[in-house]
Amino acid sequence: MFLKNILLNDFRNYDKILWEPCNGINFITGSNAQGKTNLLEAVFFSGLGYSFRKKDRDVIRWGKTHSSVRATYFLKDMPVDIVADINEEGKKKILINGAEDGRKFLPGRFGIVLFRPDDLETIKGPPARRREFIDNEIGMIEPVYRRRLQQYRRVVEQRNNLLRVGGGKDLQSLKIWNEQFYRYGAEVLSGRIKLLKKYSPLVREMYASIAGNHENLEIKYLSTVKISGGTDTEQIINDFIFEGKTREKEEFYKKQTVIGPHRDDIVFLINKQDARHYGSQGQIRSIVLALKTAQLQLFRLETGEQPILLLDDVLMELDDRRQHYLLQLIAGKYQSFITSTTLDDSIKRYVDRVYFVNKGTVKEES
């Protein structure tokens, strides 16, 4: 997969520009607050139908009522034309080859991997960051998993309302929601474990190539439900029911759902030591780099397409060794977009095209 061209209208600080990046490494440079990240955001928006920032409607240029992005991707040598419009109410209209298809058909499902400086918080931040990483970034390759996750979240919300308002006294209503809670919770938990079984070996391999074989990385899933073994959904449902009954009084007291995938965590162990507490800054960066490069590999293996990589002001956060490891990995393999205020000669030899961004304009440098 690669992006052939992208046309922006009133997107962030861009009035109207047509940009045709190359199919290799595109390096985007310029001073701060000129529009480098906005350009990456536009690529992300066209491929996935939403922004990687807080509110989608914030992409609309100041003083305007709507914004649009038009892009052409190539998938298996076939063009895919995307039109994504959004108005000031946040209502979006997305056309794929002229048809108003759902977001599930957008080209980003084949993999758009975003790497930003705050991704370091995936390791040391709260559990929600790690759940979000698995659900939103890795879970993208499994549409069924994503649907079950949405259903599960709705059920948890309804269940929490009953516990909060009624204190669990409406047992008949709670019983109805419990049936869905156990089913969808088990399917989400089973799906996560299956995803990690595919993903974890790739991460370990990437980490070993970065840090060396003397450091062994292990990814461990911490479930609030004690699983008796395997990923069989029916067995996990039974485990859910048992755990739910065991902690029923605690839920009535706390007035919230205390077990389930929405409360689970993932830890990263280096030589059996928890990286959150004992990992050095260099080790943390190596883990995140391994996570992102393994994402590229996973998408390629699962979809048969080469994903697109977006590096937003993160390359200079890595030391020379990690920079060259990443650039050697992606050169000639993945269409990549890298933003930075500077371009060192040691990096320039990997770059296919350089673009200078200034006040919402993009100019290719020779």
Mean pLDDT rounded to a whole number for the chain = 93
pLDDT by residue (tens digit) across 203-247? Answer: 999 999 998 889 999 999 999 999 987 778 899 999 999 999 899
DSSP per-residue codes, 142-192:
-HHHHHHHHHHHHHHHHHHHHHHHHTT--HHHHHHHHHHHHHHHHHHHHHH
Identify whether 18 is part of a domain.
Answer: yes
Identify whether 186 is part of a domain.
Answer: no
Identify whether 355 is part of a domain.
Answer: yes
| 92 exposure class (CB count in 10 Å sphere: 0-12, 13-18, 19+) | middle
Rounded Cα distance, 332 and 349, in Å: 12
C-alpha distance from residue 342 to each of 27, 282, 339 (Å): 10, 22, 9
Identify whether 200 is part of a domain.
Answer: no
Question: Residues within the annotated binding site for ATP?
Answer: 30-37
- How far from each other are the two terminal CA atoms of the chain, in whole angstroms? 26
Question: Residues within the annotated binding site?
Answer: 30-37
Identify whether 356 is part of a domain.
Answer: yes
Identify whether 28 is part of a domain.
Answer: yes
pLDDT by residue (tens digit) across 340-360? Answer: 999 999 999 999 999 999 999
**CATH code: domain of residue 341:** 3.40.50.300
pLDDT at 169 over 70: no
What is the predicted pLDDT for the residue at 355? Answer: 98
Lowest-pLDDT range of 163-172, 273-282, 311-320, 330-339: 163-172
Q: What range defines the domain where residue 319 resides?
A: 1-111+305-366
pLDDT by residue (tens digit) across 59-108? Answer: 999 999 999 999 999 998 899 999 999 999 999 999 999 988 667 789 99
What is the Cα 53 distance to its own chain's centre? Answer: 12
Hey, CA dihedral for 345, 347, 349, 355, is it positive or negative? negative
Cβ atoms of residues 73 and 80 within 8 Å: yes
Cβ atoms of residues 56 and 90 within 8 Å: yes
Question: Which residue has 């909060």 as its token pair?
Answer: 164
pLDDT by residue (tens digit) across 191-205? Answer: 999 999 999 999 999
Q: Count how many domains the chain has.
A: 1
Write the CB contacts of 154 (distance below 8 Å, at least 6 apart in sequence): none
Identify whether 237 is part of a domain.
Answer: no
Identify whether 220 is part of a domain.
Answer: no
